[in-house]
Amino acid sequence: MQIRKLALLLSALCTAGAALADITVGVSVSATGPAASLGIPEKNTVALLPSTIAGEKVKWVVLDDATDPTAGVKNARKMISEDKADVLIAATATPVSMAILEVAFETKTPQIAMAPVPPAGEKSAWIFSTPQNFGLMATAIADHMAANGVKTIGFIGYADPYGELWLKAMQGAADAKGIKVTAVERYQRNDTSVTGQALKLLAANPDAVLVAGSGTPAVLPQSTLVERGYKGKFYQTHGIANRDFLRVGGKNVEGTIFPVGPMLLAEQLPDSHPSKKPALDYVKLYEGAHGPNSRSTFGAHAYDAYLLLTRAVPEAMKKAKPGTPEFRVALRDALENVKELPAAHGVFSMSPTNHNGFDARAAVMATVSNGDWKLLK
């Protein structure tokens, strides 16, 4: 009987040890709500990711935040307290990501956002982001504008942190090139009309208009301006890079110029581009499951978060076991020390002052041509 009890005890201890070694990744995506066209491919991507990292079993916990910061916070607390998440991949939209950061900072849980995030003081130590930052993309836009004779621009963007960050970035990049921002308008992600804002932009008559939106809500300002007779150039942000934007926008978005991560145009990249292989790997994975032309840059933000973990987890494992506060700290430190990691959207080189880590290799200029994406040489 004593031998049997000892065997059961040893079995339980082994099981507990194995469970302790499992890595739990909590993922909050906007599978519904205004950012659903971004969040759905992210959710689809996570479903395709391996069940192990660095030889350790991974548990992926995926919840929908409905593009709602309050729901995102609830998800984060649940995944950390109940699921014992070692790291959060969250979230799809900037406002939700920033709300979740409060929880990540409070619990000292590393967070990888799939949306651009603004500086947040000491809290920034716990958040990393996989999309290109606004400054990098705004510079690419301003360079293209200057090279093509644009002297004045109008701006219409979301009335939230995404729009505010883009306005600041674009004002700085435009000023550096001698381009004047002559009109600034805002709108909500769920607005159904922007006629008033469009009329003000038309009155300013800029050489070009930049729409700082994402997914399908980015179509509305451009289509309204087209229908009202605006004849200038249209620029958009990398937030438009999914098929739903093309489907909803139709002929109204033809000729749109925008910066984007290399993955969207993987096959068109030169062989020398460091992101070509990881970008093609992602395209093969995603389109193998969801069909031709189903790729989305937003799904690739989730994939790049996974690639960051493949580099960081082995380093963190040298210092602590998953499921412990020490592992979360070690994982944060390892993420901060990732260098020259080729990913689908660029090359990551993190530092204590740069938790995005991308450089100019993460941006290419593209246009909408015949209902498809085309690399601008």
Dihedral sign (CA 77, 82, 88, 92): negative
What pTM did the predictor assign?
0.84
Do the Cβ atoms of 234 and 208 come closer than 8 Å?
A: yes
Specify burial of residue 167 (Cβ count, 10 A radius: 0-12, 13-18, 19+). buried
3-state helix, strand, coil in the chain (%, to 5): 50, 20, 30
Measured in whole angstroms, the distance separating CA 102 from the mean position of its chain's CA atoms is 19
* Edge-to-edge strand ranges of the sheet holding 87-90: 52-53, 56-64, 23-29, 87-90, 111-113, 127-129
**DSSP line for 319-331:** T--TTSHHHHHHH
pLDDT in tens, 321-361: 999 999 999 999 999 999 999 999 999 999 999 999 999 99
Domain assignment present for 166 = yes
Domain assignment present for 376 = no
Residue-wise burial string across 283-295, b where 16 or more C-beta atoms lie within 10 A, e elsewhere: bebbeeebeeebb
Return the pLDDT at 241: 85
Do the Cβ atoms of 350 and 335 come closer than 8 Å?
A: yes
Do the Cβ atoms of 320 and 327 come closer than 8 Å?
A: yes
Res. 3: pLDDT tops 90: no
d(CA 181, CA 103): 37
Pick from 311, 302, 298, 301: nearest CA to 341: 311
Domain assignment present for 79 = yes
Q: What is the rounded (10 degree) CA torsion for 260, 121, 94, 182?
A: -70
Read off the pLDDT band of 2 (50, 70, 90).
low
What is the average pLDDT across 127-144?
A: 95
Domain assignment present for 369 = no
Q: Into how many domains does the chain fold? A: 2
Res. 248: pLDDT tops 60: yes
Return the pLDDT at 148: 97
Domain assignment present for 373 = no
E strand intervals along 91-145: 111-113, 127-129
Res. 18: pLDDT tops 60: no
What is the average pLDDT across 289-298?
A: 93
Return the pLDDT at 20: 52
CATH number of the domain enclosing 201: 3.40.50.2300
Kindly report the average pLDDT of the chain as a whole number.
Answer: 94
Return the pLDDT at 4: 52
Kindly report whether the peptide bond that precedes residue 203 is cis, defined as omega within 30 degrees of 0: no
Query: Are both 144 and 212 inside the same structural domain?
Result: yes
Res. 367: pLDDT tops 80: yes
Read off the pLDDT band of 377 (50, 70, 90).
confident
Whole-angstrom CA distances from 195 to 19, 191, 282, 327 are 56, 11, 39, 52
Query: Are both 128 and 17 inside the same structural domain?
Result: yes
Going by the DSSP 8-state scheme, the letter that residue 159 receives in this structure is: S
pLDDT in tens, 267-283: 999 999 999 999 999 99
Through-space distance between the first and last CA atoms of the chain, rounded to whole angstroms: 77
Amino acid at 146: A
Query: Are both 122 and 85 inside the same structural domain?
Result: yes
Query: Are both 113 and 138 inside the same structural domain?
Result: no
Q: Tokens at residue 224, please?
A: 């309204």
Query: Are both 119 and 143 inside the same structural domain?
Result: no
Domain assignment present for 372 = no
Return the pLDDT at 242: 82
pLDDT in tens, 172-212: 999 999 999 999 999 999 999 999 999 999 999 999 999 99
Host domain of residue 218: 134-260
d(CA 346, CA 377): 18
Query: Are both 125 and 198 inside the same structural domain?
Result: no
Query: Are both 110 and 10 inside the same structural domain?
Result: yes
Do the Cβ atoms of 182 and 209 come closer than 8 Å?
A: no
CA 347, 348, 351 angle in degrees (round to 5)? 145
9-13, 25-29, 182-186, range with the lowest pLDDT: 9-13
Do the Cβ atoms of 189 and 149 come closer than 8 Å?
A: no
Query: Are both 303 and 351 inside the same structural domain?
Result: yes
Whole-angstrom CA distances from 231 to 93, 225, 250 are 31, 9, 17
What is the average pLDDT across 241-255?
A: 94
Using a pLDDT cut of 70, give the percent of the chain over it.
94
Query: Are both 33 and 100 inside the same structural domain?
Result: yes
Return the pLDDT at 138: 97
